Amino acid sequence: MSKTTDNLPPRPAADDLGPPVSTGAPNGSAASARSASKVYGMGDTEVHALRDVDVSFEAGRFTAIMGPSGSGKSTLMQCMAGLDRLSSGEAFIGPQALSALGDKALTTLRRDKIGFIFQAYNLIPTLTTRENITLPLDLAGRKGESDWIDEVIETVGLSDRQTHRPTELSGGQQQRVAVARALASRPEIIFGDEPTGNLDSRTGAEILDFMRRAVDDLSQTIVMVTHDPVSAAYSDRVLFLADGRIVHELLDPTADLVFDTMRSLGD
C-alpha cells in the first residue's frame, strides 16, 4: 500500500477556500473546535447537546468518539463537518473557521476538504459504483485523476463492481464504496458516523481495516463515531463524551481498555 503515498498529487491548498480566518485554530490540527456549544430547541424543550467543548484532531491520526446514546457524538461530528452550525464557539477545518462561511462556501468546503461515511444510505441509487466514488470530484468538475480513482477502487477491492448500482451490492460492499468515495477527493479529514454500525463484525472489521490503512499509508485524518470498543481499538485515540462534554481521553487504545473505561464512566 505504501506505494500510493509516493505518487500523491498535491492536495488542494487551503487558501482555495477564501481568506483563512485565524482566530486561534491550533497549528497542525486537521480540525478543531473551541468552546463549542450546541443547543437544540428553546425554553422548556431546550437540550444542550454540546457544552463548551474544546477539541483538536491532529492530521494523520485516527480518532474515535464514544459515549452513551444522546451524549452529543453525532452533534459534535456534524458541527465539525460543516453539516450543522454551533450555537456558540467555533469549529475549524484546518485554519478555516466555519462560522465565517456561507452556505455555498461551506458546501464547497465539504466537497473538497471533507469526506463522509454515514451509517447507511451512503450512495446515490441511480449512480454506478464508480460514479458514486467520483461524485465529489465530479461535482467539483475535477477531472484527470482516474489513476488515483483506480487505485482507490482497487484498494477497497471493488474493481470488478465498478458499473454495478448500489442495489446490486451487499451492505459491506456499499460501505466500501462509501469509504472509497471519502478517500477519492483526498480530503483534509474524513468523518464517519458509526460507519460499521449496520454491518456484521467480520465485514465491519474489513471496513475498519481500510480506514486504518488509509491513515497509515496515505496519512489520512479520520474521525469516527462508534459505540463498539472493538472498533474503537482500531483508532489512535478515543474521546469519551457524556452529556455534551468530553469526559475522558484514551491514547493507543485496546478493546479491553476501552471497554473498561466505558464501564468506569458509566458508573
Partner 1 sequence: MYRATLKSIRGHIGRTIATAAAVIIGISFLAGTLIFTDSVQRAFDNLFATVFETTDAQVRSSEVVDAGFGIQVRSRIDESLVDDVAAVDGVSGVDGFVQGTATVVGNDGEPIGNPGQGPPTFGFSWTEDDQLSQFNVIDGREPVGPGEVVLDENTATTGTLQVGEQVQILSSAGSERFELVGIARFGTSNSIGGASSALFELSEAQRVLGAEGTLDAIGVRADEGIDEADIAARIGEILPAGAEVITGSEATEEAQSAIADGLSFFNIFLTAFAVIAIFVSAFVIANTFSILIAQRTRELALFRALGAARGQILRSVILEAVVIGVVGSLLGVLFGAALSYALQALLRLAGLELPSEGLVLLPRTVIVSLVIGTIVTVGSALFPAIRAARITPIEALREASAETWKRNNIRLAIGLVVTALGGVSILFGLLAPEIALAGLGAGFMFIGVFVLGPTIAKPVARVLGAPIAAFRGTTGNLARDNSMRNPKRTARTASALTIGVALVAGVTVLAASLKSSIEGTVAENFAGDVVIDSGSFGPGGGFSPQLAADVEALDEVDVATSLRVGVGEVEGSGDFIIAVEPVAFEILDVGIVEGSPTDLVGETIMLLDNNAEDLGVGIGDSIAVQFTDGIDRDLTVVGIYEDASFAGNQLVGQDLYQSTAAEQLDFAAYVRLADGVDIEDGRAAIDSVTAAYPNAEVQDRQEFIDSQSAQLDNILNLIFGLLGLAIIIAAFGIANTLRLSTIERTREIGLLRAVGMTRSQVRSTVRWEAVITALFGAMLGVALGLFFGYAIVLALRDQGEISLTIPFRALTTVVILAAIVGLLASIIPSIRASRLNILAAISSGQ
Ligand X SMILES: Nc1ncnc2c1ncn2[C@@H]1O[C@H](COP(=O)(O)OP(=O)(O)O)[C@@H](O)[C@H]1O
Residues that bind ligand X (CB under 6 A): 40-41, 47, 49, 67, 69-75
Q: Of these, 61, 110, 161, 186, which contacts partner 1 (CB under 8 A)?
A: 110
Of the candidates 80, 78, 74, the one whose C-alpha atom is nearest the C-alpha of residue 96 is 80
Candidates 32, 63, 71, 74; binder of Mg ion (CB under 5 A) is 74
131's contact among Mg ion, partner 1, ligand X, none, with CB below 5 to 8 A by partner kind, is partner 1
Measured distance CA(239)–CA(63) in Å, rounded: 7
Residue whose CB is less far from partner 1, 22 or 107: 107
CA separation for the pair 222, 225 (Å, rounded): 10
Nearest of 185, 184, 227 to residue 204 by alpha carbon: 227
Among 8, 47, 124, 251, binds partner 1 (CB under 8 A): 124
Residue carrying C-alpha cell 448500482: 165
Q: Residue 126 touches which of partner 1, Mg ion, ligand X, none (CB < 5 to 8 A by kind)?
A: partner 1
DSSP states of 239-262 as a string? EEEETTEEEEEEES--HHHHHHHH
Q: Is 126 in the site for partner 1 (CB under 8 A)?
A: yes
Does residue 145 belong to the site contacting partner 1 (CB under 8 A)? no
Element containing residue 184 per DSSP (H, E):
helix 171-184
- SS3 assignment, position 199: coil
Does position 47 interact with partner 1 (CB under 8 A)? The reply is no
Asked if residues 250 and 237 have their Cβ atoms less than 8 Å apart, the reply is yes
Q: Is 107 in the site for partner 1 (CB under 8 A)?
A: yes
The reply on whether position 174 binds Mg ion by CB under 5 A is no
Mark 77-106 with x for binding to partner 1 (rule: CB under 8 A) and - for no binding: -x----xx------------------xx--
Residue with Cβ nearer partner 1 (125 or 144): 125
Task: Give CA–CA dist 153/159, Å, rounded.
Answer: 6
* Residues of this chain, 155-214, that bind partner 1 according to CB under 8 A: 181
Given a contact cutoff of 8 angstroms between Cβ atoms, the answer to whether 89 and 25 are in contact is: no
Length of the chain equals 267
Q: Name which of Mg ion, partner 1, ligand X, none residue 28 binds, using a CB cut-off of 5 to 8 Å depending on partner kind.
A: none
Q: Could you say whether residue 138 binds partner 1 (CB under 8 A)?
A: yes
- DSSP letter, residue 135: H
* Alpha-carbon distances, residue 231 vs 22, 83, 125, 160 (angstroms): 35, 24, 28, 28
**Span near Mg ion by CB under 5 A; candidates 12-20, 67-75, 82-90, 247-255:** 67-75
Closest CA to 233 of 197, 211, 257: 257
Minimum CB distance to partner 1 smaller for 1 or for 124: 124
- The grid coordinates of residue 31 equal 480540525
112 binds partner 1 (CB under 8 A): yes
Task: Please give the residue ranges that form the binding site for partner 1 (CB under 8 A).
Answer: 78, 83-84, 103-104, 107-108, 110-112, 116, 118, 121-127, 131, 135-136, 138-141, 181
Binding footprint of Mg ion on the chain (CB under 5 A): 74
